[in-house]
Structure 1
Amino acid sequence: MPVAHVTFGTTDLAAGGRFYDAVMDAFGGARSMETPIAIGWAFPEGGPSIGICLPYDGQPATQGNGTMFALFASDEDQVRRVHAAALANGGSCEGRPGLRPNGFYAAYYRDPDGNKLNAFCMPAVS
C-alpha cells in the first residue's frame, strides 16, 4: 500500500508552518497547499507529502505515543541540516545526528506540537 501523505494535528498553525517550512526546505520540499486550517508540503519529484492541520473535531491536537514519521535524507549532511533546521524553528531534540547500531545515520526531533520525526540515510560504504 503506497503512502500518500501524513498529517499531524497542530495547536498553532503559524508556528507549525514556520517549523515545517524550515525542515521541508532542508529536504528540498516546499509548501504545496494552504487553507485557513491546514498547510501541506510536497517534493518536486513527488512521493509522500506531509501536512499539519487544526483538528477538524475542534478538540486539542495531541501527538501519538510511539508514533513517528521518518523521512529519507540524501546523505549525512542533509540529516544534520534537517535536524538543525528543526531545532532552530521551535523543535526539540530526540536524538542527535549520528550512526545508529542498526547501521543507518539518523537524527530524531519533535515539532512544536510534540510530534516525533526522523531524518535518516544509509551511509556510503567505503
Structure 2
Amino acid sequence: MIGYVTIGVSDMARAKAFYASLLADLGAKVLLDMERIAFVGKDMKSPMLAVCKPFDGQPNHPGNGNMVAIHPGSKEAVDTFYHRAIELGATCDGEPGQRIPNQFYGAYVRDPDGNKLAFYHFG
C-alpha cells in the first residue's frame, strides 16, 4: 500500500550514506538520485524511503509525532539496527526493549537530521 515515505534532510550526501548503510542488510540501496531527492529501497516496486531537501528551500524540520518504522525481521535484528544507527550518527530516543509484553519489541533513534525512526518486531 505505501509506495514511499519522504523525510526532509539538511545534507543529502550524509542522509544517503546514513540510510544506504543502515538499510543495506535489508537489501536496500540508493535506487534513484535526483540531487534534491533520493529514493532508498530494494527496488522501485517495493516501499521506499526518500530523503530530500525541502522543495520550498526552507530548512528541514522533523515533524512532532512523525516516525518511520522499519521491520528488520527479529528482536535480535532490532538490536542490531539500533546499534548500527547509533554508530552511523543517530541519537537514542528509546533503547531496545519489550514495549508491550509478548507483542511489541522496539527501539527508537533520531537520524542526524532529527527524524525519528523505530525498529520493531511483533511477537
TM-score with structure 1 length normalisation? 0.88
Alignment of 1:21-36 (within 5 A): 21-36=20-35
Shift of residue 44, structure 1, vs aligned partner = 5.0
**Match of residue 73 from structure 1:** 72
Q: For the aligned residues, what is the CA RMSD?
A: 1.7
Shift of residue 73, structure 1, vs aligned partner = 1.9
- Give CA-to-partner distance per residue, 1:73-113, whole Å, 9 cap, x none: 21112111111121111111111111112521111111111
**Match of residue 14 from structure 1:** 13
Point out where structure 2 has 5 or more consecutive residues left out of the alignment: none
Q: Which has the higher contact order (CA 8 A, sep 6+)?
A: 1
- Give CA-to-partner distance per residue, 1:30-76, whole Å, 9 cap, x none: 21111221221112595311010111111111110011111112111
Point out where structure 1 has 5 or more consecutive residues left out of the alignment: none
Identity %: 33
Distance 1:12 1:45 in 2: 23
Instruction: Decide whether aligned partners of structure 1 residues 45 and 54 sit closer, same or farther in structure 2, where only a CA change above 3 A counts.
Output: closer
